[in-house]
Structures are given as C-alpha cells and as structure tokens.
Homo-oligomer: A and B are copies of this chain.
Amino acid sequence: MSVAKSVAAHGKTLLMEAALALVVRTRSLQALGIREIGREAGLNPNTFYRHFKNMDELGLAIIENVVNELREPLRKLRLEALDTLLEKGQIESGPSIAGFDLQQIHQVVRVTVRLFLEFAAKRPNAFMLGVRELHGASPVLRKALREAMANFVDDMAEDLKTRNVLPTLDDARLHQLCKVTIREMFILSMDYIEHKDQREQIALEAESMIVTLVTGAATLSSLQHNEAGKVLRAGEI
C-alpha cells in the first residue's frame, strides 16, 4: 500500500459513485438504503461498513469529492476568462457607472456565466447532489455544503479583487455580491441542467441578474462615498 492510502480503495469509490448516481436519479441521500447502494455498486451489502459508519459519513465523503472536483477547476475557469477578457478589453469603453465600464462588465459577466453553466452541465451529478443536499434534511450535510459554498464565495471575491474587476467596491459589498451570485448560479444551474431547451434563456437571466447586482452595488457604493450634497445635486442620472 505504497501508492494507495492516498487513492481511495476500489470499493469505496464504487460505493460513492453508486450513491451519487442513485441520488441524482431517484432520492435524497438519507433515503437510500445501504443494501441498495451496495447493489448498485455491484458489491456485497456489508462492504459499506468497511468504509463508512453510516449514511452521513458516506455523504460527507461524497461532498468532499464533489467539492474537490469543482473548486479548483471553477476558479481556474474564472481566472483564465478574466485574464483574457481584461487584457484585450482595456481598449473600449461604454457608459460608466461609478467608475466601472458597464460594457466591459457585461461582457465579463456574459462569458463567465456561460462558462459556469456549461461547466455545471458537464458535471450534472456533482451539482445536483450539492444543491439538493444543501437544502436537504441532514444538518451535517447542509453544514458541510454551506461551508463549501462559503469557500466558493471567498474564491470569487478574491479573484475579482486581485484582477481588479470592480475596484471601487468595498470588501463587504463585494463579498455580499459574490455570495448572492454564487447562490443564484448554483440554483440556476439546476434549471440549466434539467431544461436543455431553455438554456439560452436561463443564461440570459443569470447574466441580467448579475449585471443588475453589480450595477446596483456600484451605484450605491458611489452614492455612499460621495458626500451627500454632491449626490443630491447630481440628481437623477
């Protein structure tokens, strides 16, 4: 067991994959039976106990896997998109709000939203289990997934900060923006996965929602940082 120990045992992986498949296509994790999972994995019922104490433990293991499968790739996707877009995007400019180039933001949002949703569509099981159990009945799984979501949010906020998108937004507003965005994107990805015929519309909705949020945050931020008098004089835009 030199190579092993890092690589999970054969049966363990099989069980996790079986459970994941079953969850996606039939019921919530807690609703699955131990024998049922073993059967789906082509293993003896008792093999389960060699690797997990109970269902929640299986759930946590699956979630850990799922998060590992999503977190870094998602981040890489975002950073690559940001870097290529911002590089060539320095040129043009549209109407600007609170110092942000709206056109550029819209473009960035459009691209990253698409990348995210297509990414989700390629890993439907991971996303479905995540969202399902995030709102599921097991407190321990909910907690694990909430923490995972918080990490996604932190990643996004950090990336937006280091790449200087939305430079004038204060940290709190940026973080809040990411929180809502991540939450909504995960939920929307369910629809995106499920309703192939409405994908374009869902992407447009997501896009519009995020642009609205960013615009709102930018506007409010500028209102807040300019002194009241100036703001009032500025009147309606």
Contacts and interface: CB of A to CB of B under 8 A. Distances in A.
Interface of A: 23, 26-28, 30-31, 95-99, 102, 131-132, 134-137, 173, 176-177, 179-180, 183-184, 187, 190, 205, 208-209, 211-217, 219-220, 222-223, 228, 231-232, 234-237
8 contacts: A27-B137, A97-B237, A99-B236, A176-B208, A180-B209, A213-B213, A214-B216, A222-B236
A236 B137 contact: no
| This protein's copies in its complex | 2
Given A30-B31, A176-B205, A212-B217, A236 B98 contact: yes
Contacts of A222: 236-237
A184 B183 CA distance: 9
A135 B137 contact: no
For the residues of A in contact with B, the DSSP-based class is: helix
Contacts of A215: 215-216, 219-220
A105 to B, nearest CB: 11
Residue among A179, A215, A220, A237 facing the most chain B CB atoms (10 A cut-off): A237
Nearest to A106: B220
Nearest to A139: B194
A98 B184 CA distance: 26
A97 B27 contact: no
A217 B213 CA distance: 8
Nearest to A135: B135
A209 B178 CA distance: 11
Contacts of A96: 235-236
A184 B211 CA distance: 17
B219 A211 contact: no
A184 B187 CA distance: 10
A27 B59 CA distance: 14
A190 B176 CA distance: 18
Contacts of A208: 176
